[in-house]
């Protein structure tokens, strides 16, 4: 029997494994932090439940953006420029009340004086931790971006910032010339040499795993799109110091990080960029991820509700949460819910019309 290249590839890569990790997603509008003309709300954190309230933190700014190279160093370049981190609460996950600023960008000259954005939230031993991106003025195409931390005894704050970033880009490339162009390099840098983005912090195996997205100096475009990848830095103490894993990068694809605990390991949803986009993956050791399902698509910048570690359902950590929609010019927050209807039909062999 002859086998086509496609059949051989499917067999070699275990494409016919079970469907327990397969799913679809539904999205719906929410109240209070939805679309508002002139206001950017985006990149929601994971949702935490404290007492009877759900909490979420997110990036917020106002006004139009003009991109780089406008000639004005003070001009807003992106929706995530000139941002503060805000938070909102809800009793049901649908109707939200915006409460105010959780973390404000720093004073002139500080490491975070231009913008603080893309937060992720963690409750650990009675304290509340936010990890997030920072950038210093002026915001140029070649500006390096870092990850910082803030901590509070209450989800309502006040949050105290780390004195300095907890993770920096490696900066191991060499720019070519003086033009403000991130593609031009004498020497291309490592996967996280230019920017470290989208942090997510998980206590795991007695240590603290700081997952993040990296962008290189001299980024290129490949068959799967942009070459963004994820890395992880590990610390003995939650405040650091954080040391990069020798296995970095730990993914070959992915944009915003989305990970959750499952059955003693770490599950991950890679939505955008790279040949393995729109996959759900799993790593028993939190580092060596294997594809468990390929899905049609999913929520952008998803922040799932942190329900605790499941031992039975690998998708429980993505049951519902918040995401953003940036298709209307100004980003806004939406809700997502998992949809396993098709899988249930096939697994139970139930006919449907």
Q: How far apart are CA 352 and CA 50, in angstroms?
A: 40
Q: Residue 44: pLDDT above 80?
A: yes
Q: Label residues 122-148 b or e (16+ Cβ within 10 Å = b).
A: beeeeebbbbbbbbbbebeeebbbbbb
pLDDT (tens digit per residue) in 84-109: 999 999 999 999 999 999 999 999 99
Where do the structural domains in the chain lie, given as residue ranges? 5-348
- Looking at the chain, list the stretches that DSSP marks H as alpha helix, in order from N- to C-terminal side: 5-12, 341-348
Sign of the dihedral defined by the CA atoms of residues 250, 171, 149, 139, in that order: negative
- Are 104 and 116 in contact by the 8 Å Cβ rule? The answer is yes
Would you state the pLDDT for residue 54? 99
Q: How far apart are CA 205 and CA 212, in angstroms?
A: 18
pLDDT (tens digit per residue) in 105-119: 999 999 999 999 999
Bridge partner residues of 133 (DSSP): 117, 147
- 350 — pLDDT class (breaks 50, 70, 90): confident
Q: How far apart are CA 202 and CA 194, in angstroms?
A: 24
Q: What average pLDDT does the segment 173-201 reach? A: 98
Sign of the dihedral defined by the CA atoms of residues 83, 85, 86, 88, in that order: positive
- Are 326 and 11 in contact by the 8 Å Cβ rule? The answer is no
Strand ranges of the sheet holding 265-270, from the earlier edge strand across to the other edge:
259-262, 265-270, 279-283, 290-294
Q: For Cα atoms 196, 63, 65, give the angle at the middle one, nearest 5 degrees.
A: 55
pLDDT (tens digit per residue) in 282-324: 999 999 999 999 999 999 999 999 998 989 999 999 999 999 9
Q: For Cα atoms 63, 65, 68, give the angle at the middle one, nearest 5 degrees.
A: 155
Q: Residue 326: pLDDT above 90?
A: yes
Bridge partner residues of 321 (DSSP): 304, 336
- 349 — pLDDT class (breaks 50, 70, 90): confident
pLDDT (tens digit per residue) in 9-21: 999 999 999 999 9
pTM of the model: 0.97
271 burial class (0-12, 13-18, 19+ CB within 10 angstroms)?
A: buried
Q: What average pLDDT does the segment 183-204 reach? A: 98
Q: Residue 353: pLDDT above 80?
A: no
User: DSSP characters for 322-343?
Assistant: EEEE-TTSS-EEEEEEEE-HHH
Class of domain 5-348: mainly beta
């Amino acid at each position: 029997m002859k086998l086509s290249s496609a059949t051989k590839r499917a067999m070699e890569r275990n494409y016919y494994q079970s469907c327990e990790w397969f799913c679809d997603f539904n999205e719906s509008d929410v109240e209070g932090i939805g679309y508002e003309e002139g206001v950017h709300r985006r990149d929601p954190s994971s949702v935490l439940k404290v007492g009877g309230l759900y909490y979420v933190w997110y990036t917020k700014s106002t006004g139009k953006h003009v991109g780089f190279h406008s000639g004005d160093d003070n001009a807003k370049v992106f929706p995530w420029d000139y941002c503060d981190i805000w938070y909102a609460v809800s009793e049901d996950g649908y109707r939200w009340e915006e409460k105010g600023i959780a973390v404000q960008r720093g004073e002139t000259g500080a490491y975070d004086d231009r913008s603080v954005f893309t937060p992720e939230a963690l409750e650990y031993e009675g304290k509340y931790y936010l990890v997030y991106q920072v950038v210093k003025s002026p915001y140029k195409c070649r500006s390096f971006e870092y990850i910082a931390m803030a901590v509070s005894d209450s989800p309502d704050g006040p949050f105290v910032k780390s004195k300095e970033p907890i993770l920096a880009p490696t900066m191991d490339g060499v720019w070519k010339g003086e033009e403000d162009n991130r593609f031009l390099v004498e020497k291309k840098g490592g996967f996280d040499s230019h920017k470290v983005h989208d942090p997510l912090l998980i206590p795991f195996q007695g240590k603290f795993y700081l997952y993040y997205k990296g962008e290189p100096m001299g980024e290129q475009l490949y068959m799967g799109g942009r070459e963004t990848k994820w890395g992880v830095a590990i610390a003995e103490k939650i405040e650091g110091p954080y040391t990069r894993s020798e296995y970095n990068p730990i993914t070959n694809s992915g944009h915003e990080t989305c990970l959750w605990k499952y059955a003693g390991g770490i599950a991950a949803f890679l939505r955008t960029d790279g040949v393995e986009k729109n996959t759900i993956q799993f790593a028993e050791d939190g580092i060596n991820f294997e594809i468990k399902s390929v899905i049609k698509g999913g929520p952008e910048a998803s922040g799932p509700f942190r329900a605790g570690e499941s031992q039975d359902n690998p998708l429980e950590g993505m049951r519902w949460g918040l995401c953003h929609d940036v298709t209307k010019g100004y980003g806004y927050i939406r809700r997502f819910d998992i949809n396993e209807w098709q899988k249930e039909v096939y697994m139970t062999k139930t006919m449907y019309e």
